[in-house]
Structure 1
Amino acid sequence: MLTSLSIKNYALIDSLQVDFKNGLSIITGETGAGKSILLGGLSLILGKRADLSSLKDTTSKCIIEAVFHIENYNLKALFNAEDLDYENQTIIRREILPSGKSRAFVNDSPVKLSSLQLLGERLIDIHSQHQTLQVVSHDFQFQIIDALADNENTIFNYKTELKGYRTTQKELKRLLDSKAEAIKEYDYNAFLLNELIEANLVDGELEELEAEHETLNNVEAIKEKLSSSYQLMNDDQIGVLSTLTELKNNLQKLKDFSFKYDDLFQRVQSSLIEMDDVFGELDVLQDSLEADPKRLEIVNAKLQTINNLMHKHAVNNVLELIEIKNDLEEKVAITENLDASIEEKQTEIDKKSEILNAISKTIHDKRSKAIPDLSQQLKNALMGLGMPNAQFKIDLVPSADFLLNGKDELSFLFSANKGGEFNELKKAASGGELSRIMLAIKSILSKYMQLPTIMFDEIDTGVSGEISNKMGDIMLQMSETMQVFSITHLPQIAAKGHWHYKVYKEDVAEVTRTNLVKLNKEERIVEIAQMLGGVEMSDSAIAHAKELLN
């Protein structure tokens, strides 16, 4: 609820400070006294855009500050979402600087205008005869029915499930898009992969193949060298083995004369053993080395394949080719596995769809049950507001799609006259009728949900005394569970209020100023008497005013 309002340097208001309480507060004043200025200042608190013309004194800044008690409004989630500090007593301040710039604060923290608008919608509902579009909107009509149907928690669960459902749908679309894109590249990637798989690549084999190729390509030259080396080792006269054997024998005889020749003998003995082993190796190599044109052809083909692949993929070694093969295997596997992922995601969507359908049915059934009650309550309320033949035809039309609040489309039709055709509210009801319909709806809603502070701005214009009396009764009834303001010209409504405030103009030093004052009991009698009979109050007007107040 709004507990206080302070306005400085705004339009005709120099400085105004007023406190408010719960219940029904009446605001009256002569035409042109500045009631619209008061609403304009309040609208700035609710996030309306401002301009420099709002400043009374263009050399000073305009400051509008309102204090709200919001403990019962369930606004902590909104404060968290907007990154605001939550306080049960929340202070909203709006400043308009002489430069034309505007600043807004919630509990002394700067906020964007969009955040202020979101918060403002939950704090005050300003309703005039020219602001009845809300009642013809489908969202608001659903809000009415769902309030009576006690659907708040069910719809919350539905929206939570719907969020998950739509997220999964997006994931499925991404998979389908990926598949479509992957299919374009799949054949090419699979071709490249098959080339690399058929090459049967092994890290390090290029060097081995090159060495084998060099051997096979030079068999005769190698055999010639091996044979020559074999002869050098095995010649009876000058062969290495014969020479080393003779040297060993000589040193063996010398070491018998002195131990100092023993080391030489051992070294030659070792060399002879090593050379003998080399000789045996040369013999084996000669026997094993054969020209193999077929193997040479195979090695040549494998080398050509590897070199072609390295050139094709612009790499320098087999290891890089193997890495490319692994990458292609992953891409091809992803494409081949996409169908399984798509099927899995579709199954998940189907399960979520079943849950949503079940919740939607619960929402629909509760709405269907609440509609007759709502129609009857509206009929009863409007009968007392001078619309005895008003009738509503409310139908739920099933939708094939999951909508934001279920699977129902709403047909909210109205007929003001007996035997008249039903039509959409905005077409079937006049401005005055819409205003009374809105009052009736708000009064019904106040029984089922915590509404923000509501301010009725002269919705009683053109209404007769008896109907205005009933309108006042409805506002008074609403004020039992919420804070209600009524800006009115009718004494019947003014007398219903728990509190009465008067907007007035005064000229001070040839400057016109607007102010707001709370009336005491005697001042209320005078104000209502003047509303009844004009400035020149008669005794009967005063008596009538007292009677209304009693």
Structure 2
Amino acid sequence: MLLNLSIQNVAIIDKLEVEFKEGFNVLTGETGAGKSIVIDSVLLLIGARANKDIIRSGEERALVEGVFLVDSNKDKIAELLEEAGVSQEEDDTLIISREITKSGRSYSRVNGKIVPLSFLDKIGALLVDILGQHEHQFLLDSSQHLFILDNFGDEEFKALKERFKQLLEEYRSVVKEKTSLFKDEREKEQMIDLLRYQIQEIESANLSEEEEQQLIERRNILMNYEKLFNAVNSSYKILYEGNGGFSVLDNLHKVVKNLETAFSIDGKLKGLKEKLENILYETEDAALQLRDYLGAIDFNQKALEEIEERLNHINFLKRKYGPTISHILSFKEEKEKELDKILHFEERQKELEEKEAKLWEEINKMGSKIHEKRKTLASHIEEEINKVLKELNMPNASFKVDITKEESPNENGFDRVEFLISTNIGEPLKPLSKIASGGELSRIMLALKTILASSDGIPTLIFDEVDTGISGKTAQLVAEKMAYLSRRHQLICVTHLPQIACMADAHYFISKISKGDRTYIKLTELDYEGRIKELARIMGGEKITSTILEHAKELLEMASKFKNSL
């Protein structure tokens, strides 16, 4: 549920804040007052694209922030937040903000953490559903009808679709591999020769992942032999022989001998004497290791040349087969697998043909299950939508979900889905785009949303001027249906109809005012008297008579009685 919406510097809005209520929230005002800007701002919070043109003239940035209460779809939202590394608030609120700068950059944040725009789209789909004029175009696009129908499916249906998608991907992979197998014997032999040459070239090099580093270290020793020998030899002489005087070991022997004498006098020196004795032993051992090292190292020009030659060969192979020895060895493994496939061409071809046939059989079975599920689903949807359409003053309407099975599947199955409707007795069923008026489309979409809202768990439904093309009794029926819907969902509605506005639990009036050379938007939550005046304005325009005011008051009283009866 959307608790709070704050808008700064969006279009002609300088600063606006509104606290929405549970139930039915209505926005009214003169045409061009800025009602749709409020809805567009919500769209920004749920991932809509934006550019710098929406920034109020003279300002550097636009900012929209919304506070949502997560009161449904909690597990799905928690999973998304965890994946994105966004912390959850203890009070189940979610703070989403969107900033658009004059440079054209956009910054999206959820609970203070910057997230990609695609994340707002994902999480927004679980928080808000918008029904506006753009939805009418969506409804007229028959390619979208399958997805609308499938939205009514349960978890079992969704699992079937997911399994079908996996089978189809596997089937396409098998077909791709099968068609890539060699048709030409000469081409096949050429590829065998190439693969064998590549494998043999790598194998004959007898590579190991540790070898290159070991060669580099050995080359470094040989190239710096003289410097290394002098450093080690000098250290050995200082420790063992001395330079014209006593060596380090000679001096340590004297120190230890002196401490033995001192220890016989003062026992407190025992620890120090033992410590120096250990140092003496370790120094003797280090001197012997230096002597052995000097005896082992030897400069060998031929060895250096062999190392250089080996490293050059490794680099040659790296240029051909990969940036590291590990990559070269992986390349060899891949080529060995390719060679094995080609050498066992007939076996592999037969294996793929058998697998293709088996997968196709499974795909057909799964596709038939999905088709039957869709037919059952369509039958239920038809019944429910026709029922709601009658409630919305389309008593003679007949809504039909036409499902035809195609020969070639896609990831959704074999079905093609199209919504058909007849709005009058005796008229044949036709595609929505051929028959439905704006008012009829509004009611069909409202019927779809009414049914879908009960199953998708989306808490907030936004209706942006969906009252186009309706009036009178139809408007009253639409208003009642929305009031009924608001008992299970939060509704936010922009409307020009008094029949809808009077059903509001919270009524907000948006007006446009001018100060100096700037235009500002003002939003006011109306009290009872304010609602009467606004309903009168909607009904009577500039000339508001006492009769119109009484009618407005009567509308509010009737709406209150109807809502209390729900």
Which TM-score bucket, shorter chain as reference? 0.5 to 0.7
Q: CA contact under 8 A between 1:155 and 1:406: conserved in structure 2?
A: no
User: Would you say 1:394 and 2:401 are equivalent positions?
Assistant: yes
* Counterpart in the other structure of 1:37: 37
* Counterpart in the other structure of 1:365: 372
| Alpha-carbon distance between aligned partners in 2 of 1:539 and 1:533, rounded to the nearest angstrom | 11
Partner amino acid, structure 1, of 2:157: T
Partner amino acid, structure 2, of 1:166: E
| Alpha-carbon distance between aligned partners in 2 of 1:138 and 1:152, rounded to the nearest angstrom | 24
1:367–1:450: structure 2 CA closer, same or farther, 3 Å change rule?
A: same
| Alpha-carbon distance between aligned partners in 1 of 2:337 and 2:62, rounded to the nearest angstrom | 66
Q: CA contact under 8 A between 1:384 and 1:467: conserved in structure 2?
A: no
SS in 2 for 1:480: coil
1:403–1:152: structure 2 CA closer, same or farther, 3 Å change rule?
A: farther
* Counterpart in the other structure of 2:156: 153
SS in 1 for 2:344: helix
User: Would you say 1:5 and 2:12 are equivalent positions?
Assistant: no
Following superposition, the deviation at residue 147 of structure 1 comes to: 5.0
Following superposition, the deviation at residue 333 of structure 1 comes to: 4.4
1:365–1:508: structure 2 CA closer, same or farther, 3 Å change rule?
A: same
1:177–1:24: structure 2 CA closer, same or farther, 3 Å change rule?
A: same
| Alpha-carbon distance between aligned partners in 2 of 1:392 and 1:191, rounded to the nearest angstrom | 64
Partner amino acid, structure 2, of 1:110: I
1:484–1:340: structure 2 CA closer, same or farther, 3 Å change rule?
A: farther
* Counterpart in the other structure of 1:18: 18
| Alpha-carbon distance between aligned partners in 2 of 1:374 and 1:367, rounded to the nearest angstrom | 10
Following superposition, the deviation at residue 132 of structure 1 comes to: 0.4
Q: CA contact under 8 A between 1:158 and 1:356: conserved in structure 2?
A: no
1:505–1:491: structure 2 CA closer, same or farther, 3 Å change rule?
A: same
Partner amino acid, structure 2, of 1:155: K
| Alpha-carbon distance between aligned partners in 2 of 1:416 and 1:163, rounded to the nearest angstrom | 41
| Alpha-carbon distance between aligned partners in 2 of 1:124 and 1:390, rounded to the nearest angstrom | 29
| Alpha-carbon distance between aligned partners in 2 of 1:327 and 1:116, rounded to the nearest angstrom | 41
Following superposition, the deviation at residue 130 of structure 1 comes to: 5.1
Partner amino acid, structure 2, of 1:335: I
| Alpha-carbon distance between aligned partners in 1 of 2:553 and 2:369, rounded to the nearest angstrom | 53
| Alpha-carbon distance between aligned partners in 2 of 1:328 and 1:94, rounded to the nearest angstrom | 51
Q: Provide Cα deviations, 1:348-397, integer angstroms capped at 9, x if missing partner.
A: 45444444444433332232233333323323322343433322332221
SS in 2 for 1:72: coil
Partner amino acid, structure 1, of 2:546: D
SS in 1 for 2:418: strand
1:380-419 matches, within 5 Å, as 380-419=387-426
Partner amino acid, structure 1, of 2:158: I
| Alpha-carbon distance between aligned partners in 2 of 1:329 and 1:125, rounded to the nearest angstrom | 54
User: Would you say 1:174 and 2:158 are equivalent positions?
Assistant: no
* Counterpart in the other structure of 2:64: 64
| Alpha-carbon distance between aligned partners in 1 of 2:494 and 2:194, rounded to the nearest angstrom | 81
Partner amino acid, structure 1, of 2:67: V
Q: CA contact under 8 A between 2:388 and 2:447: conserved in structure 1?
A: yes
User: Would you say 1:134 and 2:138 are equivalent positions?
Assistant: yes
| Alpha-carbon distance between aligned partners in 1 of 2:190 and 2:536, rounded to the nearest angstrom | 92
Q: Provide Cα deviations, 1:438-490, integer angstroms capped at 9, x if missing partner.
A: 11221122233324632222221342221111001111122222222211111
| Alpha-carbon distance between aligned partners in 2 of 1:417 and 1:93, rounded to the nearest angstrom | 47
Following superposition, the deviation at residue 172 of structure 1 comes to: 5.0
User: Would you say 1:111 and 2:118 are equivalent positions?
Assistant: no
SS in 2 for 1:448: helix
Partner amino acid, structure 2, of 1:494: A
* Counterpart in the other structure of 2:466: 459
1:462-477 matches, within 5 Å, as 462-477=469-484
Q: CA contact under 8 A between 2:87 and 2:111: conserved in structure 1?
A: yes
| Alpha-carbon distance between aligned partners in 1 of 2:506 and 2:451, rounded to the nearest angstrom | 23
| Alpha-carbon distance between aligned partners in 2 of 1:106 and 1:29, rounded to the nearest angstrom | 31
Following superposition, the deviation at residue 520 of structure 1 comes to: 2.6
* Counterpart in the other structure of 1:280: none
Q: CA contact under 8 A between 2:182 and 2:188: conserved in structure 1?
A: no
Following superposition, the deviation at residue 510 of structure 1 comes to: 5.2
| Alpha-carbon distance between aligned partners in 1 of 2:506 and 2:553, rounded to the nearest angstrom | 15
* Counterpart in the other structure of 1:51: 51
Following superposition, the deviation at residue 422 of structure 1 comes to: 2.6
1:333-372 matches, within 5 Å, as 333-372=340-379
1:459–1:498: structure 2 CA closer, same or farther, 3 Å change rule?
A: same
SS in 2 for 1:455: strand
Q: CA contact under 8 A between 1:379 and 1:391: conserved in structure 2?
A: yes
RMSD of aligned residue pairs (Cα, Å): 3.4
SS in 2 for 1:132: helix
| Alpha-carbon distance between aligned partners in 2 of 1:327 and 1:449, rounded to the nearest angstrom | 47
1:167–1:332: structure 2 CA closer, same or farther, 3 Å change rule?
A: closer
Equivalent position to 2:457, from 442, 450, 461: 450
Equivalent position to 1:435, from 442, 446, 450: 442
SS in 1 for 2:66: strand
| Alpha-carbon distance between aligned partners in 1 of 2:190 and 2:447, rounded to the nearest angstrom | 68
**Structure 1: which 5+ residue stretches go unaligned?**
194-325
The structure with the largest alpha-carbon Rg is 1
| Alpha-carbon distance between aligned partners in 2 of 1:529 and 1:330, rounded to the nearest angstrom | 81
1:348–1:21: structure 2 CA closer, same or farther, 3 Å change rule?
A: farther
Following superposition, the deviation at residue 123 of structure 1 comes to: 3.4
User: Would you say 1:163 and 2:170 are equivalent positions?
Assistant: no
Identity among equivalent positions (%) equals: 34
1:194-205 matches, within 5 Å, as none
Count of aligned pairs: 417
Q: CA contact under 8 A between 1:155 and 1:363: conserved in structure 2?
A: no
| Alpha-carbon distance between aligned partners in 1 of 2:440 and 2:484, rounded to the nearest angstrom | 20
Following superposition, the deviation at residue 25 of structure 1 comes to: 1.1
Following superposition, the deviation at residue 53 of structure 1 comes to: 3.3
**Structure 2: which 5+ residue stretches go unaligned?**
197-332, 558-566
1:100–1:161: structure 2 CA closer, same or farther, 3 Å change rule?
A: closer
1:500–1:70: structure 2 CA closer, same or farther, 3 Å change rule?
A: same
Deviates more, 1:346-355 or 1:66-75: 346-355
Partner amino acid, structure 1, of 2:112: D
1:201-212 matches, within 5 Å, as none
Q: CA contact under 8 A between 1:24 and 1:483: conserved in structure 2?
A: yes
* Counterpart in the other structure of 2:250: none
Equivalent position to 1:123, from 104, 122, 127: 127
The two structures have a TM-score, normalised by structure 2, of 0.65
| Alpha-carbon distance between aligned partners in 1 of 2:486 and 2:6, rounded to the nearest angstrom | 23
1:66–1:338: structure 2 CA closer, same or farther, 3 Å change rule?
A: farther
Partner amino acid, structure 2, of 1:370: L
Q: CA contact under 8 A between 2:167 and 2:363: conserved in structure 1?
A: no
Deviates more, 1:135-144 or 1:105-114: 135-144
Partner amino acid, structure 1, of 2:472: G
Partner amino acid, structure 2, of 1:426: S
SS in 1 for 2:487: coil
Q: CA contact under 8 A between 2:145 and 2:418: conserved in structure 1?
A: no
1:332–1:110: structure 2 CA closer, same or farther, 3 Å change rule?
A: closer
Following superposition, the deviation at residue 138 of structure 1 comes to: 4.1
SS in 1 for 2:72: helix
The two structures have a TM-score, normalised by structure 1, of 0.67
Q: Provide Cα deviations, 1:63-105, integer angstroms capped at 9, x if missing partner.
A: 1111223452334555566676666532221112233432222
| Alpha-carbon distance between aligned partners in 2 of 1:477 and 1:435, rounded to the nearest angstrom | 17
Q: CA contact under 8 A between 1:189 and 1:328: conserved in structure 2?
A: no
Following superposition, the deviation at residue 327 of structure 1 comes to: 12
Q: CA contact under 8 A between 1:24 and 1:485: conserved in structure 2?
A: yes
Q: Provide Cα deviations, 1:127-165, integer angstroms capped at 9, x if missing partner.
A: 2345402223346433454455x4443223331442254
Deviates more, 1:380-389 or 1:473-482: 380-389
